[in-house]
Each structure stands twice: as structure tokens, then as C-alpha cells.
Amino acid sequence: MSMGDIRIVKNLSQEFIRFAIESQVLVFGEFKTKAGRQSPYFFNAGLFNDGVRLARLGHFYARALVDSGAAFDMLFGPAYKGIPLVASIVVALSSMGINVPFAFNRKEAKDHGEGGVTVGALLKGRVFIVDDVISAGTSVRESVEIIQRNGAHPAGVLIALDRQERGGGELSAVQEVRRDFGLDVFSIATLEDLLMHIQESPQFRQYVSAVQAYRMTYGV
């Protein structure tokens, strides 16, 4: 695998794209992004919002993490979306015979009770960061700072979808994380996988040209 953007095996990626579409987490049409771009697709991981979907999502992440071959001692989920993700992933890993601790952060430090910024296991060893997507890289930056401040080592990042889209410069947010922190970023699926799926699906083939045009304009 390359040291830049790293995609997990194709079959898992295509299975995940189907799952995201069935869950209406991935939809097609006309959407305005935070950057003001008109996107032909929208991915909202917050809609994995019931027990069955979250359990299945956790298994996708767990399989992707194991398939990556990356070494890790524990997982960290940045608030807020990373919290249910990291919990579902460690449960899925445990069903695969892999028992690892996890932690997440608070947005504001607690000054009573156990106090502090983090909740869960003590941060130590090789800590893998999990999130839904990487947009500006802010949550990764904050996570790296928290992990290092506690004397642990950031081991990598795992996300659901790599948009393979440029940020403010020529690099994507994923590539910027690799450049700035020296971390490998693994994804369950990429925009390339999404495009492959709709090209092969009569139901969504009508969106192929729009997604291709968007990728030509903003892709990396």
C-alpha cells in the first residue's frame, strides 16, 4: 500500500457504499458544501442512527481496520461523531476476538468528578483515531494534540469515506493530514469507489456524469 491515501479492499468498499445508500446516508442530487461548492452527492454519517445500522457500521470499520494491517493498542473517537463510532468499533472488534480499550474527548474540560478532557481508558501506546470523514482536519489535529499530551502515540486515522477532494490548496484534507502529521489515513471507501458503484448500477447511472464532472473540477 502507498503511504498516502489508503483504500481498503474493493469488495468491502463496494459493500459499504451499498449499505450507505440503503441507509440513505449517501444520497444524490444537488447539495451545497461548506466550501460553497455544488456537489452531486451528500454523505451524512449521522444518519447511521439506530442500533442495527450502528452495529453494522461498527463491523465495517472493524473489518477495514483489521484488513489495513495497521498496528494499534487502542482507539480514540473525537467528539462528537467519533464517540458512537469508536464504541461500535470496539464492540465489533471484540466479536472478532480482538479486545481493545477506547477513549473519547469532551468539548470542554470537566472540573469535577474524574475531571479532565478525555473519557474512557487512559491514553497509552499506539492510538488509532476514528472519524466519519476528514474535512478541514481540525478533529484530527485536536486528537493528535490530546493523544501526545497524554504521552501516547498517534498511530493512524480511519474514516468511512475519503472524498478525494481538494481543500483550499492542491491537496485533499486526507493528504494534508498525511503531510502535517505523518499519519496514514485509511478509508472504508473513496469517491472512486462511489463512482464505480453508480457506473454499474442502473438506478444511479444518471448521476455518473455529474459526479465525474465534480471530480474533474475538485478532485485530487
Which residues belong to the active site?
110, 112
Residue 80 grid coordinates = 462528537
H/E stretch holding 91 reads helix 82-95
Which are the contacts of 89, defined by CB distance < 8 A and separation ≥ 6? Answer: 58, 61, 62, 65, 75, 102, 130
How many helices, marked H, and strands, marked E, lie in the chain?
Answer: 7, 9
Residues 179 and 116: their CA atoms lie apart, in Å, by: 30
Q: At what angle do helices 10-22 and 191-199 cross, to 10 degrees?
A: 70
Residues 34 and 151: their CA atoms lie apart, in Å, by: 34
Residue 79 grid coordinates = 467528539
Distance, C-alpha 214 to centroid of its chain? 21
Distance, C-alpha 9 to centroid of its chain? 15
Cα-Cα end-to-end distance for the chain: 18
Q: At what angle do helices 208-218 and 191-199 cross, to 10 degrees?
A: 160
Measured at the alpha carbon of residue 96, what is the angle toward residues 95 and 97, in degrees to the nearest 5? 90
